[in-house]
Chain A
Amino acid sequence: MTQMTMISAIQNAHDLAMEKDDRVVVFGEDVGFFGGVFRCTAGLQEKYGKNRCFDAPISENGIVGSAIGMAAYGLKPVIEIQFADYMYPAYDQIVSEAARIRHRSNADFTCPMVIRMPCGGGIFGGQTHSQSPEALFTHVAGLKTVMPSNPIDAKGLLLAAIEDPDPVVFLEPKRLYNGPFDGHHEKPIVSWSKHELGVVEDDYYITPLGTAAVKRSGEAVTILSYGTMVYVAEAAVEETGVDAEIIDLRTLVPLDLETIATSIKKTGRCVIVHEATKTSGFGAELAALVQEDLFYHLEAPVARVTGWDTPYPHAQEWDYFPSPQRLGEKIIETLEG
């Protein structure tokens, strides 16, 4: 066991995957010599050589497009988009190509690759370093979409994504890289070095895609969350004193609907929280699934707490960010509903 941050857990997953399978190649902007602007690929070039870990030009379209060709050849590219906000030039390659090559060629060609990208706000990154574009991926047939919330899951889910035979979008909430952040930006930062989820197994292990985790058992209401919002939910629950069940979805597609259903059948209430904008956000899909399958178990309307439908602001970051207070108020409203 080693105490790891989410960054070192992700770096460690790369390291073990490259050691295990020489078809794994890692590249992206600043990823090679420097080891990534967030250091998630630190030391890999030195250890595995420039042939398997290298710097790419500032061309997300080129990074994803070339990785698709490498995957078609038989390699397993694990590529980094420096910020999720930069992925749009690559969107055609992700949606029209990576996601569809298996289907359109009847598995003549496949596209096993992982597209990593730091997402989410809370770092004063403004509109180009803060977005959570997960719904733009969950809407696409052929993609899997993953968002871990802690070092143990980050390592296991990344290794599962690398083993997966299909393209996986791996979203890393950058506000969680160094410690669990619960939305109380005025308080001192908590570090993974003092957290049980920072104690990571040294060996290779897999956290299967498509499995949610129940972070807290409760009877009164189910909170569906992922990424940074898992800790916002924990804070909201603690502050309201409500006996809520908190679920960390971990994988959005494929979704662990069974864990969600089991919980809501027990609690009869559901609050969904995500950092992305509200309209057509992943919360809309979750709310629709809950009412389709569990309508007669519900005792209150399904509620959503999300980022507002505005560009991610700079100075007004904490007005945008779904706070424990906003979530807490919605939890109380749902209990009274």
Chain B
Amino acid sequence: MADLALSSPEIAPLKLHVPEPGCRPGETPDFSDFEIPRAGAVPKPAIDASADDMLDLAFSIIRVLNKDGEAVGPWVDDLSPDDLKLGLRHMMLLRAYDTRMMTAQRQGKTSFFMQHRGEEAVSCAFQVALKKGDMNFPTYRQAGLLIAGGYPMEKMMNQIYSNEADPLHGRQMPVLFSAKEYGFFSISGNLGTQYIQAVGWAMASAIRHDNKIAAAWVGDGGTAEGDIHSAMVFASTYKAPIVMNIVNNQWAISTFQGIARGGAGTFASRGHGFGIPSVRVDGNDYLAVYAVAKWAVLRARNGFGPTIIEYVTYRAGGHSSSDDPSAYRGSAEGAAWPLGDPIERLKQHLIRLDAWSEERHVQAEAEVMDEVKSIQKQAEAIGTLTSGHPPSGRDMFEGVYETMPPHLLRQRREAGY
């Protein structure tokens, strides 16, 4: 037993391991360790394949667009050039909206904003794979679900401005939308809570023998919440018809993804402990996101249960309008990100198909920006956080309960309403 003695000289004192990102301010980004499989290299399992038959897919990256802008491999799907042009338009609309709303926030027209720069393909392409009646349980960085789903952008801006036409009556912080008719669950603002709710919604669809499916959304950082574990247990146990999305954009505010991921190789591999088919996809490849989403949605709708999808992408902007990423990550990191920019990549593909051109793209950028500016003008004509007729203080007492209980009525009167 002598070798176990506390005083043994061979045993070094323990040290706490705190992972560090590769590139802090002033450092040169180095993605040489970041393994990127060739486009088209990852096989496509049948929708009824078991988790055991695709374990590798949690450690690889499904990619369709190669570096020459060609669509290659088994995950090439049925999107026509017109579909792709529409997808490009959705992403460009989202980027123009982000640009305008960030500026509006800087101008003091709203309190807060969150942009999607670099992640446009994830939500825009995913939404196209859903059907009316399906329900997303999104985070704050999936507004592409609304744009690709045809939700009026003016309503989004009205919500951001908390103006008189805000569908949420000024009760929620900007971008925490709710749009049931468009399959978009009310965003909480607390991270991870919506993941297990999405599983419950999917279970309800199965309980009612419906054909609707749910889509849960969380970021890399949010996966550390207990709700995600609960969601995976429930989804696995009840074989819920759900797609469980993890958007790994590398950063949770200032905390790099390694702090939430820990010793696991990938976030997708979390699913292996639950027997849930789990895959990783190039989140900046519109065609790959669409193909994987469609495959997972089909699995869910046909009763094959949950799928975990990790989108490998990069948060090119700050976490929010309150954040300054130059304080914690290398300024060259975004440009060095090896999976490129989703809009640029889809543009190149369309040009390759002879369905698009550089000139047409420049023109489209101007058209989309004009369109967004004109919508913004309409929203601002109604009002902003600091102009027009903001929602009445009386309204905050409404809707706490369906019927206002006596104590709340009394408080409303005390408040002068």
Contact = CB atoms under 8 A, between A and B. Distances in A.
Interface of A: 25, 51-52, 56-57, 59, 61-62, 65-70, 72-75, 77, 89, 92-93, 96-97, 101-110, 141-142, 144, 165-166, 210, 253-255, 257
A104 B195 CA distance: 18
A68 B400 contact: no
Contacts of A56: 234
A257 B408 CA distance: 13
Contacts of B172: 104
Contact of B204 (A65, A74, A104, A105): A74
B167 A106 contact: yes
A93 B197 CA distance: 9
Contact of B207 (A51, A61, A62, A93): A51
A255 B406 CA distance: 8
A279 B339 CA distance: 57
The 8 closest A-B pairs by CB, nearest first: A69-B200, A66-B200, A65-B196, A62-B230, A73-B204, A254-B405, A105-B186, A69-B201
Interface of B: 135, 137, 167-169, 171-172, 176, 178-180, 185-186, 188, 190, 193, 195-205, 207-208, 214, 226-227, 229-231, 233-234, 237, 399-402, 405-407
A66 B199 contact: yes
Contact of A69 (B190, B214, B402): B214
B347 to A, nearest CB: 36
Given A65-B195, A92-B227, 12 more contacts: A56-B234, A62-B231, A66-B200, A72-B197, A73-B204, A96-B193, A104-B171, A104-B186, A108-B178, A166-B402, A255-B407, A257-B406
Contact of B196 (A66, A165, A254): A66
Given A51-B207, A69-B203, A61 B401 contact: no
A59 B168 contact: no
26 contacts: A25-B207, A57-B230, A59-B230, A62-B231, A66-B197, A66-B200, A68-B197, A68-B200, A69-B198, A69-B201, A69-B204, A70-B203, A70-B204, A72-B135, A72-B197, A73-B201, A73-B205, A92-B193, A93-B193, A102-B402, A104-B171, A105-B178, A105-B186, A106-B178, A107-B399, A253-B407
A77 B190 CA distance: 23
Given A97-B193, A104-B172, A65 B207 contact: no
Contacts of B234: 56-57, 59, 62, 66
Name the residue in A72, A74, A109 with the highest tally of chain B Cβ atoms < 10 Å from its Cβ.
A72
A97 B407 CA distance: 22
Given A51-B207, A97-B190, A72 B402 contact: no
B226 A72 contact: no
Contacts of A103: 171, 399-400
A109 B199 contact: no
A77 B135 CA distance: 19
A34 B234 CA distance: 20
B235 to A, nearest CB: 9
A69 B196 contact: yes
A62 B233 contact: yes
A298 to B, nearest CB: 20
A67 B135 CA distance: 15
B332 to A, nearest CB: 38
Contacts of B203: 66, 69-70
B190 A92 contact: yes
A62 B197 CA distance: 8
A69 B136 CA distance: 11
Contacts of A144: 401
A106 B168 contact: yes
A126 B388 CA distance: 58
A254 B179 CA distance: 30
B195 to A, nearest CB: 8
Nearest to A142: B400
B230 A61 contact: yes
A70 B400 CA distance: 20
A73 B214 CA distance: 10
A150 to B, nearest CB: 24
A257 B407 contact: yes
A109 B406 CA distance: 23
A61 B196 contact: yes
A69 to B, nearest CB: 3
B406 A59 contact: no
Contacts of A57: 230, 233-234, 237
B196 A72 contact: no
A99 to B, nearest CB: 9
